[in-house]
Structure 1
C-alpha cells in the first residue's frame, strides 16, 4: 500500500514536470521530471530486490537510477537557484562534480555489493546537498521564497536518509508495511521542490508583467521592441489633431497558435520579435510599427500612398515575414501575414473609426480562400 502510494506520487510529480516542460520549454522542468522518473525506477527496483535473498543480478540498474537521480537533482538545483547568475564560481564547482557522478554511475553499474553502492549514493547526496545549500543561501536575497523552499526540501531529505539503515532493502525480514524513511524523504523533497518551482514561476511572471507595464508606459512593447498600443494610440491621435493624412495597416499572423503549441511560449515570442523587426525594416523612419497585443500589429504610414504602393508594401512584408525564424538552434516557420488597410481621412475621421475600418478589411481578407493576403477598407462592404 505504502509503496503504491509512493509510486503514484512520483508518477504524478513526473507528469507535472513534463506538463511544465511542454508549456514553458525550460530545462529546469526537464531535470525535475527526470529526477522524478529516476527516483521512481530506483525505488521500484530496490523494493523488488528487498523480497529476494540473495539479491538478483539485476541489482545494478536501480543503483544506477539512484546515481542518475542525484545528477538530475543537482542540475535541477543549479537551474532553480540560477547559480550561473548569482554564484558563478559555485556553479563551476557544481559542474565539475558531474565528473564524480559519472564515475559513480560506472561504479554502480559494476559493483555487486548493493549496500556499498547505496553508501556511495548517500555520500554523493550529502555532498551535493551541502553544495546546493550554499548556493541557496547565496540566492536567498534574489530568490527568497524559492531558495527557502529549496532549503526546506533538502533538510527533509537529509533527515530521511540519516534515519534509514543502509540494509533496509536487503534485510530478509523486510516487511512491505515497514516505513522507508529514505523513500518518503525523497518524495517529500520533490513535493517541496515542486512548490519552489511554482513560486519561482509566479515570481518571474509577476516581475515580467511589472517590467512590461513600465516599458509600455514609455510607449514600447517589452517583448518585440515595437511601439506599444499606448504609443500607437498617442501617435495616431497626434496626427489626427495635426490634420495629417496617414494610412493604417493592421496585420496578424495565421497559425500563430500552432507555433506556441509546437515550440512553447519561447518559440512564439521569438517569432513575434522577428515579425516586428522585419516589419520595421520595410517602412520609412517616420512611419511606425506597433504591437497591439497577441499576434496583432499596426503600421502607421505618413501620408496616403497610392493603392498600388500600399499593395507592393504589403507584398514585401508578406515575403519578409514568411522567412524561417531561427530560435534555440532550430528554424521555426515564419509568419503568414494578413493585412487590412485603411486611410485617413477617406476611411474615418477618428482613430477608432479608422481602426474599425482596417479591422473590417482584415476580417474580409482572412475569410477569403483565394486572392491576395491584403484588403482595402474602401473595397469592403460595411
Structure 2
C-alpha cells in the first residue's frame, strides 16, 4: 500500500511538472519532469525487484539518473551560476560523477558499489546545493525555503534507510522505505519551489513594467500606445498657452470600452487602445500631438487656428477610423465608438485647465445625445453640436 501510494504521488508530481513545462516551456521544468520520471522508475524497481534480479541494475541506473536530473534542476532553480559560480562548478563535477556512475551501473550488475557511491554523491550534492541556496536567500526567499525543507527531509530519509542495504536484502513488504519517502517529499517541495519562483518572476515583471511605464511617462511617452503621456501633454499645452499660441484641444473618449475588457480580457483591450492611438496619430499633422490621458481617454492638440468646419471634418474622419475593427489573435474586435469634445484657445479658455474643463463639458454633452454627430464644440451645448 505504501509503495502504491508513493508511486501515485510521483506520477502526480510528474503530471504537475508536465503542466509547468507546457505552460512555461523552460528547461528547468524539463529537468523536474525527468527527475520525477526516473524516481518513479527507480523506486518501482526497488519495491518490486530482488537484488539478484537481472533487471535490478536498471533500477539502480534510474536512481542515479534521478539524482543527476535533480541536481541539474536545483542548479537552475537556485540560479547557482549567477549567485554561487564556484559552487556551481562543484555541482557540475558531481553531475559528471553521477553520469559515470550511471554508465558503470548500466554494465555492472553488482549493486553494492553503485548504491554506496550514489548515496555519497546525493549527500554531497545536497550539501553543496544547500550552501548555494543560502547564498541566494535574500533574492528569492520562498523558493530557497522550500528547497531547504525538501533537502532536510531527503537527508533524514537517507539517514534512516541506507540505499546499499538493497544490494544485500530482498525487498521487504510492509516496512516503510524512508529514503523513498524523503525523495518524494523533496520532489513535492521542489514543485512548490517552482511555483514560488514563477510567482517571484511574475512579480518582478510587473514591477519592471510599472517602472518602464514610469520612465516612459517621465520621458513624455505612454508605454502601451506610443502616444504622448499626460505629463508630455501638459508640458506642451502649458508651453503653447504661455506663448499665446492659438490651438485647439480635442478630447476623445471610447464609448463602451469596459465591454471590450470584459469580453476579450486586458490584452484585447490593450490591443484596441494601441490601434486607436495609431489611428489618431495618422489623422493629425507633424506639429500636432496625440496624448493618452487615462485608461480610454485621449487628447489631441491641434496647432494653429483651423476653422470649425475643418475641425468637424477631422472629427468625422477620426470617428470613421476608430470604428474600423481591430485585428487581434486572428479575430476582429469591434473598433472604438468615439465621442469628442472640442475647445479652442483662447476663445474657450485662457489656461490649459480651463480648456480641458470646456472640452470635457462638450464631451459629456456629446455622450448624452442620442442623436446627432459624435462631436461637440465648447460653448454650444445649449444649441447642439456644431456642424461647421
Trace 1:51-66 onto structure 2 (pairs within 5 A).
54-56=52-54, 58-66=55-63
Q: Does 1:108 align with 2:105?
A: yes
Trace 1:1-382 onto structure 2 (pairs within 5 A).
1-50=1-50, 54-56=52-54, 58-95=55-92, 97-210=94-207, 212-213=209-210, 225-226=223-224, 244-246=248-250, 248=252, 283=281, 286-288=289-291, 292=295, 302-303=301-302, 305=314, 338-345=334-341, 350=360
Question: RMSD between aligned alpha carbons?
Answer: 4.9
Secondary structure of residue in 2 paired with 1:151: helix
Secondary structure of residue in 2 paired with 1:79: helix
- Structure 1 residues 33 and 244: alpha-carbon distance in aligned structure 2, compared to 1, 3 A threshold: farther
Which stretch has the larger CA shift, 147-156 or 94-103? Answer: 94-103
Residue 307 of structure 2: aligned partner: none
Task: Report the Cα offset of residue 176 of structure 1.
Answer: 1.3
- Structure 1 residues 234 and 17: alpha-carbon distance in aligned structure 2, compared to 1, 3 A threshold: farther
TM-score (norm 1): 0.64
- Structure 1 residues 88 and 167: alpha-carbon distance in aligned structure 2, compared to 1, 3 A threshold: closer
Taking the aligned partners of 2:139 and 2:172, their CA distance within structure 1 comes to: 46
The answer (yes or no) to whether the contact 2:150–2:185 under 8 Å persists in 1 is: yes
Taking the aligned partners of 1:40 and 1:308, their CA distance within structure 2 comes to: 66
Taking the aligned partners of 1:45 and 1:125, their CA distance within structure 2 comes to: 19
Residues 175-234 of structure 1: CA distance to partner in whole angstroms, max 9, x if unpaired? 21122121011012122223333333444444544555565566759xx932699x5699
Residues 347-367 of structure 1: CA distance to partner in whole angstroms, max 9, x if unpaired? x9539968x97xxxxxxxxxx
Secondary structure of residue in 2 paired with 1:169: helix
Task: Report the Cα offset of residue 93 of structure 1.
Answer: 4.5
The answer (yes or no) to whether the contact 1:276–1:289 under 8 Å persists in 2 is: no
Secondary structure of residue in 1 paired with 2:139: coil
TM-score (norm 2): 0.63
Taking the aligned partners of 2:58 and 2:101, their CA distance within structure 1 comes to: 13
- Structure 1 residues 29 and 306: alpha-carbon distance in aligned structure 2, compared to 1, 3 A threshold: same
Structure 1: segments with no counterpart, 5+ residues: 261-267, 323-332, 358-375
- Structure 1 residues 249 and 94: alpha-carbon distance in aligned structure 2, compared to 1, 3 A threshold: farther
Taking the aligned partners of 1:77 and 1:186, their CA distance within structure 2 comes to: 14
Residue 264 of structure 1: aligned partner: none
- Structure 1 residues 278 and 46: alpha-carbon distance in aligned structure 2, compared to 1, 3 A threshold: farther
The answer (yes or no) to whether the contact 1:156–1:185 under 8 Å persists in 2 is: yes
Task: Report the Cα offset of residue 46 of structure 1.
Answer: 2.1
Secondary structure of residue in 2 paired with 1:141: coil
Taking the aligned partners of 2:154 and 2:361, their CA distance within structure 1 comes to: 61
- Structure 1 residues 120 and 248: alpha-carbon distance in aligned structure 2, compared to 1, 3 A threshold: farther
The answer (yes or no) to whether the contact 1:104–1:120 under 8 Å persists in 2 is: yes
- Structure 1 residues 96 and 276: alpha-carbon distance in aligned structure 2, compared to 1, 3 A threshold: farther
The answer (yes or no) to whether the contact 2:42–2:62 under 8 Å persists in 1 is: yes
Secondary structure of residue in 2 paired with 1:339: coil
Secondary structure of residue in 2 paired with 1:6: helix
Secondary structure of residue in 1 paired with 2:42: helix
The answer (yes or no) to whether the contact 2:289–2:301 under 8 Å persists in 1 is: yes
Aligned residues between the structures: 325
